[in-house]
Amino acid sequence: MTEAIKKSLRESAKARWTALILASMSIFGAYYFNYALSSIKPMLESILGWNSEDFGTYTSAYAWFNVFLFMLIFSGFILDKLGIRKTGLGATIVMFLGTALNYWAVSHTFPEGSVVHIPILGDMKTQVLLSSLGFAIFGVGTEAIGITISKAVVRWFKGKEMALAMGMQMSIARLGTMLALVISLPLAKNFGVTTPILFALIVMLIGVGSFITFSLLDIKLDKSEGVEEQEVSPEDEFKISDIKLIIGNLGFWYIAILCVLFYSAVFPFLFYATDLMINKYNVDPYWAGAIPGLLPLGTMFLTPLFGGIYDKYGKGATIMIIGSMILIFVHGILAIPALNMWWIATAMVLILGVGFSLVPSAMWPSVPKIIPEKQLGTAYAVIFWIQNIGLLFIPLILGIVLNSTNPDVSPNKIVVKTAIEKAFNETLAGQSFTDREIDKAIEKATGTAVDSVVQYTTYEPVSIEDIDTKKVENEIYTGIVQNLKNINLSGDKKEVLKAVTKAGEQSAFKTIEKERLNIRYDYFYDMLIFLALSVMSLLFAFLLKMEDKKKGYGLEMPNIEK
């Protein structure tokens, strides 16, 4: 009887899988918000006046504090010192605060031309800077919760279905990614550009509550094992000197570099994937996010499956090699300009989902085979820190390259928005419409006009240097004003706004097509960057397998102890 009472709670399958689901819900919201704005990149440009370099700056901001202030490393120290519960709760609160700042920045109207001068870096749009700061704070919490949950899975599933559990945890998180890619743009188009961020705030609050519930269950685990606090014993406590053991391990470096290369070829791709689908494959913006959304959908099922295979049969290093080879194939096909049919993009995303399931399903459960458990928190933190270096520089480089190889696109979109804005404000001023109603009409007319040109026209664009942009702006403005004269502005407000928006869309579309403005991005050079990263990830996957043969880490051995 006494033996039964002292039996660890982790021996209960129901308890450990419940703990996994509760802990994973806290990162579900993080993965949603991580891609919420990436899906609405076209609207950020058309409505808020951002360009691809601004977007690249924003996406890279996720890693600012984690890399330059070493917040990820500190998170690892805190995790190994304070334990899972305190670290996780703090991380979820930080994520909420960062998301809140981001929401305020995007929803706030700043004076036209408002910039902040940053030494060395130069001027940055105020809205872009504040939104980026919010994303950077959010990134600190997200990476902290990431390493916390990784250690929690090891704690609850060591000697059990650890790879399967890590796969399930990633599947729940990637459900958030899929949701962001699929619904963010439709939400923004129907309810306003800030709606996806507001939804993220709500999900963040749910995540905080979920982690608190997990912590209560984790306390029960301590009690079932006769432990008062979830603190490590003095002999097992992490010491700063243990870092030498981590960074002196060649196998650790191979897996860390493989991680940064592999994830840099996938996560930044998802940041730009919706815009790629619109610009290269002519997919309707309402459905463009659904294609990259297939990737996390597939990984939700495949990552646990491959994790289960690793648990039972091993072959972890081999699995990572196969996944890297798939990555090379996919990015190679996507880089070919002539292959611009939507079904090819869909097929490649599905295949990419297989590769993206293979590598993480074997990578994360392999770390505990290389690094002792007492150093795991810091080891995961260092790996995530190195990964964040990629997430800092690769999106920024992609944005700079995209902007520099497509210099006409952003200025042309600003010309279109300025003309529509001027026409709507002058025509509707003094009527019964609120500023918010007019702004929404401007948003919809601008976004639809630009999207329609990208989706339906096939003309050879004219360089902006050969166009009188002031003349084009005035032509769009004059055409809209002329069309609005045929609309009875004193009728039903809802119907009037609908008619006004339609008139603005049509007038802008005709002028853009007639003048052959370049508003379509060419992603060829960005895709070459992804291809290069994929090739390098394969190299380090091979090096990791060779190191495993030398040191006998057991990466090719099963995880389940018999």
Same domain, 269 and 389: yes
| Domain of residue 192, CATH code | 1.20.1250.20
Residue 236 is assigned to a structural domain of this protein: no
Residue 559 is assigned to a structural domain of this protein: no
- Residues spanned by the domain of 76: 9-230+251-406+522-551
Backbone angles phi, psi at 125, to 5 degrees: -55, 135
Same domain, 180 and 147: yes
Per-residue pLDDT 10s for the chain (562 aa) are 344 445 777 777 888 888 888 988 888 989 999 888 888 888 888 888 888 889 999 999 998 998 888 887 788 778 877 888 899 999 999 999 999 999 999 988 888 778 888 776 678 889 999 999 999 999 999 989 988 888 888 888 877 777 788 878 878 888 898 899 889 988 888 888 899 999 999 999 998 999 999 989 888 887 877 665 444 445 455 556 667 777 778 888 999 999 999 999 998 999 899 999 999 999 988 888 889 988 887 777 787 788 788 888 888 889 999 999 999 999 999 999 999 999 999 999 999 989 988 888 888 788 888 887 777 767 877 888 888 899 889 999 999 999 999 999 989 999 999 999 898 888 887 677 788 888 888 888 888 888 888 888 888 999 988 889 899 999 999 998 888 888 887 777 888 888 888 988 888 999 999 999 999 999 999 999 999 999 999 999 999 999 989 988 888 888 666 5
Residues 559, 365: contact at Cβ < 8 Å? yes
Residue 561 is assigned to a structural domain of this protein: no
User: Which pLDDT score is estimated for 5?
Assistant: 46
Residue 126 neighbours by CB under 8 Å, 6+ apart = 110, 114, 115, 116
DSSP, residue by residue, 72-136: HHHHHHHHHHH-HHHHHHHHHHHHHHHHHHHHHHHHSPPPTT-EEEETTTEEEEHHHHHHHHHHH
Same domain, 488 and 385: no
- DSSP 3-state assignment of 554? coil
Name the region of 31 (left: φ>0; alpha: ψ -120 to 50; beta: rest).
Answer: alpha
Which residue bears the tokens 């996560």?
267
Interhelix angle 13-36/195-224, rounded to 10 degrees, is: 160
State the number of CA atoms in the 13 A half-sphere of 503 facing the CB: 23
Residue 470 is assigned to a structural domain of this protein: yes
Burial of 11 (0-12, 13-18, 19+ CB in 10 A): exposed
Same domain, 366 and 471: no
User: Which pLDDT score is estimated for 238?
Assistant: 53
User: Which pLDDT score is estimated for 1?
Assistant: 37
Instruction: Give the total number of structural domains in the chain.
Output: 2
Residue 240 is assigned to a structural domain of this protein: no
User: Which pLDDT score is estimated for 518?
Assistant: 92
Same domain, 370 and 503: no
Same domain, 359 and 393: yes
Same domain, 540 and 511: no
User: Which pLDDT score is estimated for 561?
Assistant: 62
Backbone angles phi, psi at 116, to 5 degrees: -120, 130
Residue 207 is assigned to a structural domain of this protein: yes
User: Which pLDDT score is estimated for 242?
Assistant: 65
Q: DSSP class of residue 11?
A: G
